[in-house]
């Protein structure tokens, strides 16, 4: 998983999430990964004022939700602290 974040000019705006999932020819897997990432993002409680883009591989679908959540939280802490 790769995460990028861009600070908004107006820090009061809600943080927005963009997803890019690579799962060639497998829409079911791609959509499952997107659902997990959206739910993990909601659970992270990232502060307002960012645009976040997450690029993930299909292998994320086979991992449990807690692992996905921990990895996303760590990545968000890293990119939003800059």
CATH of the domain at 76: 3.30.230.10
Task: With cut-offs at 50, 70 and 90, classify the pLDDT of residue 46.
Answer: confident
Domain encompassing residue 18: 2-80
Task: With cut-offs at 50, 70 and 90, classify the pLDDT of residue 82.
Answer: low
The percent of residues in the chain predicted with pLDDT above 70, rounded, is 99
Q: How many domains does the chain have?
A: 1
Lowest mean pLDDT among 17-26, 29-38, 66-75: 17-26
Query: Rounded to whole angstroms, how far apart are CA atoms 62 and 81?
Result: 29
Is the confidence at residue 25, as pLDDT, over 80? no
Place of tokens 């591989």: 57
Average pLDDT, the chain: 89
């Amino acid at each position: 998983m790769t995460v990028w974040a861009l600070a908004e000019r107006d820090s009061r705006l809600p943080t927005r999430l963009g997803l890019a999932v690579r799962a060639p020819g497998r829409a079911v897997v791609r959509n499952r990964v997107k659902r997990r990432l959206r739910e993990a993002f909601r659970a992270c409680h990232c502060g307002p004022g960012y645009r976040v883009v997450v690029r993930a591989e299909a292998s994320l679908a086979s991992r449990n939700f807690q692992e996905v959540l921990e990895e996303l939280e760590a990545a968000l802490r890293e990119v939003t602290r800059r």
